[in-house]
Amino acid sequence: TGYYHGQLERNGREETVRFFRHVLDQNLSVSHFIDSDIAFVNYPLARLYGIEGVNGRAFELIKLTDPRRGGLLGQASVLTASANGIDSSPVIRGMWVLENLLGMPPLPPPDNVAAIEPDIRGATTIREQLTKHRGVESCATCHQKIDPLGFALENFDPIGGWRHAAPGQRGEVDASGEWNGHGFKDIVDLKKLLVQQEDWVARNLAGKLLTYATGRKLDLPARPHLDRIVSASKAKGHGLKDLVHLVVQSEIFMNK
């Protein structure tokens, strides 16, 4: 398949690493992880993304003209990691955005709740199935946060290519929804909403960096330290290099 012939697994990882390194080196805002007008691609990735003018195996820094593709949510590595290799799942992709980008993981589902509510009679699409699932009171709160984020990514197939139709959906993909009290029509619209959560992206990243650096999860007493890091980062425009410096200068890191 094109996935293996184009070595897309390796190329996708390389794209994300190069993108992160560029954001760090240039001290660009962490909002680039949500949306960006730059990307690193070579020919196999450019072909997957529908980008013309990139013909070699070497990676090139390009200026994006397609607003659907910018940021981590348009990168093959993320879109593949949040799929199962055969098809995408709105729930898995929505969870990925909440947990890894925004740092807002929902509570675990109750022990007695199935992944998809068994009684889905009359529901023929994944959107209809999840609508019935949200009808279960114990499921509704979390799925109202998860599902819209995942449906916004349904135009991306399991390896990150763009598609107009998807299995389990009638006609063209419906990527619209409502999140955080605001409606959106597609991934471009959603990213405009997510960019407004830049503080949460910075907080999540700072927390993950501290967890990795200290070798332990942050506890309740660490929250004020994290608050100070995010506040200082915001004053500097949430540049990634500045954020890393604030993390390593923090009391939590210095006293690890």
Q: In tens digits, what is the pLDDT along the chain, a chain of 256 residues?
A: 455 656 899 999 999 999 999 999 999 999 999 999 999 999 999 999 999 999 999 999 999 999 999 999 999 999 999 887 677 888 899 999 999 999 998 766 666 555 554 444 444 566 666 565 555 665 666 778 899 999 999 999 999 999 998 776 678 899 999 998 999 999 999 999 999 999 999 999 999 999 999 998 888 888 999 999 999 999 999 999 999 999 999 999 998 7
pTM confidence score: 0.86
How far apart are alpha carbons 146 and 137 in whole angstroms?
Answer: 15
211 close to 254: Cβ distance less than 8 angstroms? no
Q: If you compute the radius of gyration of the chain from its CA atoms, what whole number of angstroms results?
A: 19
- The contacts of residue 36 (CB under 8 Å, 6+ apart) are 19, 64, 70, 71
Strand partners, 178: 183
